Amino acid sequence: MNAPPILTPDEQRDRRLVELLGMDRMTLSSRPRDVQSATDRWMRYLGFPGGIALFLLVLYLPPGAGLSASAQAGAACFALALVWWVTEPFPTYVTSLVLMFLLLVTRVATDKTIMYVLGMDVIWLNLLAFILSSMLVKVRLAKRMALWLILRFGKTAPRALLAFVILHMLLAPLIPATAARAVMVLPLMVVVAAIYGASEAHNNNVGRNLMLLNLACISVLSSMTMTGSAANLIAVGLMQTMADQRVYYMDWVRVGTPLAVITMLLMWWIGQKLIFPVPPEQRQPQLAGGLDLVRNQYAELGPLSRDEKKALAIFGGVLALWMTDVFHMQWFGVEISAPFAALLGAVIVLMPRWGLLQWSEAEIPWHLLIFSAGAYAGGLALDDTGAAAWGVKMLFGSFDLKSVPFGVAFTVVVAVMMYSHLLTTSKTVRTLIMLPIIITLAKALGWSPISLALPAALCIDWVVGLPISGKPNVILFSTNQYSVGDNFRYGMVTCTVGVLLQIVFAFTWYRWIGLTPDFFAVAP
């Protein structure tokens, strides 16, 4: 029996890099291991009884002036769910099921109302988007795009960083899960870092910029489209149910894409020039033959396959229908909604023989859909019973809200939402907490709810401040390329740039497209 050949350290390193470039972990279901601190464990232990205690306290306290019994019961149910969502004594989807059950038992909502949320168009859009994403991952189209961009732009460190910005611009509308995109792109990030001399044992500013820029891209560019994250879809659902204002796919793109793209291009420049300056000696590849490894992996893919071409055609058609949804009535005399366009694509993808995917291969996060359904049910209950409006009145009743200029309310809302991820890590929980308040506040101020709610919803995706702020943050921090302090510096600069750009946009772009009124206007 022949002994395995003894490899030199360089050969071992090259083999490891080739294994990473295989990108075998490119799945939508991959999730980071749940890393718990002592604080997290205590929160879980205390969260269960704390949620029950708060439920009973709110339910049985003497009702406040103007608060109906139904509204009080709805607030009690939502309070319990909120505590459990934040502390996670149970998985979030279990808490959502408990919330729906309590809303029925307390007669806050009927069974028809509760079941209705499972059929909401945003729930179906989420489900169908994951079917289409599963197709793109299966045919390895995402891998091909990633390798090609690195070969095209990766000859110097600044260009390699720019390649990842472009890659995430392409992936964000295609893959509606930030953790999945992090897992998919991480192997390539590690390889490129090694090419430019960065490793777990040796950190440099190329590695810091690479990891933190990718982290920012994964989060910020999710705000480009309504399918960029589950939180976006929850926000769209809340705006539709609580404000009776429908946000079309193209409406979100017009608002979110310019902000996200400009921010990331600025951070690409600011990161390597000001935060972690890249010296000239680090701008060129440090690993001999490193780009050749990437080139060999790309060559192994061969020419564009028949399945890849079909996948491009299918998703391209769906994306075209999404991007033109506001014109469908004018062009066709019938509206082709975003869920219907996704359904059409999913039918083609799953079609026997001609399709590209079997049902068993579709990676659908059912837990996320159940969680979202419970969130919608809770939000509807707060709105329908008047609990949300009562809460805003209690918080701001002593202020003359009608005299507040729009720009003041806009700046406060955007800033609070942008930095709120430092306190509450879950995007969906922050959406559930803040959006109903913002929608109700906009109504009280006399402004269109969407003028505040949509810019605020964009900020929810900007989860960049700390390694514990989100699942992608945990994944990238595991590379040991940067410290907590590095993360905080980069994240705060990113968020501050975002707030300043939002204010500039409120003066200009948002007003030009009819989203916001005059910045200094007072409601009539």
pLDDT for position 233: 84
> For the chain, what's the residue count?
524
Looking at 302-365, list the stretches that DSSP marks H as alpha helix, in order from N- to C-terminal side: 306-323, 328-332, 338-350
**How far is C-alpha 388 from the chain's CA centre?**
25
**Same domain, yes or no: 133 and 67:** no
Residue 11 lies in a domain: no
Distance between CA atoms of residues 199 and 286, nearest Å: 12
Domain end marker among 79, 108, 137: 108
Residue 15 lies in a domain: no
Query: What's the half-sphere exposure (Cβ side, CA atoms, 13 Å) at 237?
Result: 31
**Same domain, yes or no: 65 and 214:** no
Distance between CA atoms of residues 261 and 117, nearest Å: 33
**Same domain, yes or no: 103 and 122:** no
First to last CA, the chain: 88
**Same domain, yes or no: 76 and 117:** no
Residues of the chain with pLDDT under 50: 1, 7, 25-26, 30-33, 35, 398
Q: Which residues contact 150 (CB under 8 A, 6 or more apart)?
A: 160, 163, 188, 192, 291, 294
Residue 10 lies in a domain: no
**Same domain, yes or no: 442 and 506:** yes
- Residues 209/276, Cβ–Cβ less than 8 Å: yes
Domain end marker among 61, 89, 108: 108
**Same domain, yes or no: 286 and 425:** yes
**Same domain, yes or no: 258 and 124:** yes
**Same domain, yes or no: 69 and 204:** no
pLDDT for position 91: 81
**Same domain, yes or no: 504 and 390:** yes
- Residues 157/283, Cβ–Cβ less than 8 Å: yes
pTM, rounded to two decimals: 0.75
pLDDT for position 485: 86
- Residues 454/255, Cβ–Cβ less than 8 Å: yes
Residue 28 lies in a domain: no
**Same domain, yes or no: 88 and 220:** no
Angle at 132 between CA 127 and CA 136, to 5 degrees: 140
- Residues 291/195, Cβ–Cβ less than 8 Å: yes
Domain end marker among 84, 108, 132: 108
**Same domain, yes or no: 168 and 241:** yes
Domain containing residue 399: 109-512
pLDDT for position 28: 52
- Residues 434/390, Cβ–Cβ less than 8 Å: no
pLDDT for position 30: 45
**Same domain, yes or no: 184 and 54:** no
